[in-house]
Amino acid sequence: MKEKGLLIVLSGPSGVGKGTVRKELFSKPDVAFEYSISMTTRAPREGEVDGVDYFFKTREEFEQLIDDGKLLEYAEFVGNYYGTPVDYVRETLDAGKDIFLEIEVQGAKQVREKFPEGLFIFLAPPSLSELYNRIVNRGTESDEVIQGRMEKARKEIEMMSLYDYVVENDEVEKACDRILSIVVAEHCRRERIQHRYQKMLESD
Ligand code: 5GP
pLDDT in tens, 178-204: 999 999 999 999 988 898 888 888 876
Give the pLDDT band of residue 101 (cuts 50, 70, 90).
very high
Ligand 1 atom at shortest distance from the alpha carbon of 54: 16
Residue 106 lies in a domain: yes
Residue 99 three-state SS: strand
Span 150-164, average pLDDT: 88
Residue 72 lies in a domain: no
Instruction: Tell me whether residue 27 is exposed, middle or buried, using C-beta atoms within 10 angstroms of its C-beta: 0 to 12, 13 to 18, 19 or more.
Output: exposed
Residue 175 lies in a domain: yes
Say what the pLDDT of residue 139 is.
Answer: 64
Closest by CA to 107, choosing from 126, 83, 128, 88, is: 83
- Known binding positions for ATP: 12-19
Give the pLDDT band of residue 140 (cuts 50, 70, 90).
low
The answer to whether residue 136 scores a pLDDT higher than 80 is: no
Other Cβ atoms closer than 10 A to 11: 24
* CATH number, position 157: 3.40.50.300
Say what the pLDDT of residue 155 is.
Answer: 86
Percentage of the residues of the chain whose pLDDT score is greater than 70: 98
Q: What is this structure's pTM? A: 0.92
Residue 68 lies in a domain: no
Residue 55 lies in a domain: no
Say what the pLDDT of residue 36 is.
Answer: 98
Other Cβ atoms closer than 10 A to 73: 24
Residues 134, 138, 141, 142, Cα dihedral to 10°: 140
pLDDT digits (tens, 9 = 90+) for 50-92: 999 999 999 999 999 999 999 999 999 999 999 999 999 999 9
Q: How many domains does the chain have?
A: 1
pLDDT digits (tens, 9 = 90+) for 141-151: 777 877 888 88
Tell me which residue has its CA closest to atom 4 in ligand 1. Answer: 19
Q: How far is the CA of 75 from the centre of ligand 1 (A)?
A: 9
Give the pLDDT band of residue 128 (cuts 50, 70, 90).
confident
Alpha carbon 81 to its chain's center: 17
Going by C-beta distance under 8 Å and a sequence separation of 6 or more, which residues neighbour residue 13?
Answer: 105, 124, 125, 155, 156, 159
Span 1-15, average pLDDT: 90
Residue 168 lies in a domain: yes
Residue of 196 and 172 predicted with greater confidence = 172
Residue 98 three-state SS: coil
Closest by CA to 81, choosing from 52, 65, 59, is: 59
Q: How far is the CA of 200 from the centre of ligand 1 (A)?
A: 43
Q: How far is the CA of 83 from the centre of ligand 1 (A)?
A: 8
Tell me which residue has its CA closest to atom 19 in ligand 1. Answer: 83
β-pairing, 55-56 vs 34-35, is unpaired
Say what the pLDDT of residue 127 is.
Answer: 83
Can you tell me the distance from the alpha carbon of 92 to that of 97, in angstroms, rounded to the nearest whole number? 5
Expressed as residue numbers, the domain containing 124 is 7-36+97-203
Residue 66 lies in a domain: no
